Amino acid sequence: MERRIVRPAGIDFDSPGRRDYWVALEHDSIWGDHLIPLTVFVGPEAKPERGLVAFGSNHGNEYEGPAILRHLLHDIDIAKVRGRIVLVPVLNVAAFKAGTRESLRDDGVNLNRAFVDGAGRVPALAGITHRIADFVRTSIFPRVHVVIDLHSGGEGAEFALCSSFHPIDDPEQSKLIEDTARWFGTPAVMIYQNATPGLLPSEAERLGKITVGTELGWGCSMRPAGIRWGRQGVTAAAIHHGQLAGTIEKIGHHRDGTQRIVAIVDRECYTIAPFTGHYEAIAACGDIVKRGDVVGLLHDFERIDHTPWPVRAGVDGMLLTQAWRATVAQGQHIVATGVIHA
């Protein structure tokens, strides 16, 4: 199949059929373009402002999302598409090429903090990462009502694999989001704090969209379970929200009833490093712990004769995430323990 190079205005989101694009956004330092892979499937029942988009590689060193969506490029049969499905396997191409969380070779910006006022529109926010955010806002969000943002821990954190969303005030939207998140089949469904500015999911949620994120791996690798659950979750969302014909069976922890809703909204859930050091995990992500349990040790090798600092769970619940790399910085959230809601 031919993948055409187009500017954002050249994407056809409406005509029936499948179209494969490289979306060109001007490069900041060479005479050329950043090329974002984007595929549009449009079926006979497509409606304005209705559809599903799934993004991979919001962060450039998280690889399960790109693999999941590359599989789905081959899994989805255009004959079974009812509405509109947009797949973007690598959204932040600048960071992906650098193999880093942020776009370090270009503007140094974290795309998942770039959805702020003026992004891509004012000189101070005119680098490639903010222009990608503007592209998502202006070209994609107006054409979909379901947003899937596929993440993993990269180099920063290990997770009990999970789908995720923020607390939502609208009970109907919240219920639709939770139901969509459960279909991934992951051990946990994470509800996390919404205080960080500029998040892609926060933007989509504010627009009233059914918005689900994930943490499907860590360590800059590709976890088989994460890829399996991601393919399931995106496919189920497309079917249940009317964009793809067919039926789908529950899998994993969704099927056997062991899936848990786990919240890390409150500050007490986070254990913070009081000094720069090296983290030794004692407990595993997914373990059930009590407040005050020692789940790891923080070593200071410049004070080698001192006893390591005990890293304790802040609340009763599930050890949801912890530092993946041994080296941690002062102030880093070493551990997050989630309160089990269901």
Instruction: Please tell me the distance from the alpha carbon of residue 304 to that of residue 292, in angstroms, as a whole number.
Output: 24
Instruction: Look at residue 147 and give its three-state secondary structure.
Output: strand
CB distance 42 to 15 below 8 Å: yes
Q: What confidence score (pLDDT) does residue 342 get?
A: 77
- Residue at 220: amino acid letter: C
CB distance 188 to 320 below 8 Å: yes
Q: What's the whole-model pTM score?
A: 0.96
Tokens representing residue 180 in the block: 């969509």
**Please, which residues bridge with residue 127 across strands?**
none
Instruction: Please tell me the distance from the alpha carbon of residue 152 to that of residue 158, in angstroms, as a whole number.
Output: 8
Q: What confidence score (pLDDT) does residue 166 get?
A: 95
Cα 140 to chain center, whole Å? 17
**Please, which residues bridge with residue 299 across strands?**
278
Q: Where in the chain is the domain with CATH 3.40.630.10?
A: 4-264
- Residue at 167: amino acid letter: P
CATH of domain 4-264: 3.40.630.10
Instruction: Please tell me the distance from the alpha carbon of residue 254 to that of residue 256, in angstroms, as a whole number.
Output: 6
Structural class in CATH, domain 267-340? mainly beta
Q: What confidence score (pLDDT) does residue 1 get?
A: 65
Instruction: Please tell me the distance from the alpha carbon of residue 70 to that of residue 50, in angstroms, as a whole number.
Output: 23
28-46: pLDDT as tens digits: 888 899 999 999 999 999 9
Instruction: Quickly tell me which residue has 């029942």 as its tokens.
Output: 45
Instruction: Please tell me the distance from the alpha carbon of residue 58 to that of residue 36, in angstroms, as a whole number.
Output: 12
User: What is each CA distance from 70 to 5, 27, 63, 81, in whole angstroms?
Assistant: 18, 24, 11, 17
Q: What confidence score (pLDDT) does residue 136 get?
A: 98
Residues of the chain with pLDDT under 50: none
Q: What confidence score (pLDDT) does residue 9 get?
A: 97
Q: How many CA atoms lie within 13 A of 77 on its CB side?
A: 4
Q: What confidence score (pLDDT) does residue 31 get?
A: 87
